[in-house]
Amino acid sequence: LAKRTNLSFKQVAYLTENEILEFLSGSSVNIELAKSRREHGFMMFQREGKMICIDKNIKRELEKIGFHQKEQRTEKIKGSCACKGKVRGKVVLVYTIHDILKVKKGDILVAVTTHPDYVPAMQKAAAIVTDEGGILSHAAIVARELGIPCIVGTGNATTVLDYGVEVEVDAEKGTVEII
């Protein structure tokens, strides 16, 4: 499929099921849309039996259809320990592939989730904290391979923490505390 669409294998992963089926039926693929989704992110979910794909202005589009983010301000974030350790560092929020360039040695990488494109940043990070995932998630597995503290499944780290904030990650307790 990648060869037939002039997309990379990774870019094909950003096509929806319907887009793939339409391509196989003879329609063309919007290459720029797939590239943009990989670069800037996108969200897919099912609502009332319909698959919905949002690839621009995600927050605004979710609010339009009735999803509202609850304000969850707290000084502590709690999740599951994926790899033990206790470190302090500055938060770098990673939402897209462009954000990985902001991660410097010793930073705390905070993301909704991680995927293979994030590995170069994960190798620099002192710890990894994710909103989603469990002990078998990508973040957890890579953190164990790297031997760095990792907390997964916090549910709110990316909304509570701000870029550059100093935190202490105590993975054994599963907590992130703003210093």
CA distance 137 to 152: 8
From the list 40, 68, 98, 138, the catalytic residue is 138
Kindly tell me the sign of the dihedral angle through the C-alpha atoms of 136, 142, 148, 152: negative
Q: Which of 121, 147, 144, 146 is nearest to 133 (CA)?
A: 144
Phi-psi region of 153 (alpha: psi -120 to 50; beta: other; left: phi over 0): left
End-to-end CA distance of the chain: 49
Beta-bridge partner residues of 87: 169
Told to judge if 115 belongs to the known catalytic residues of this protein, a careful annotator would answer no
Q: How far is CA 33 from the centre of its chain?
A: 19
Q: Which of 77, 78, 83, 80 is nearest to 150 (CA)?
A: 83
The Cα angle at residue 130 between residues 124 and 132, in degrees rounded to 5 = 145
Q: Tell me which residues are annotated as active site.
A: 138
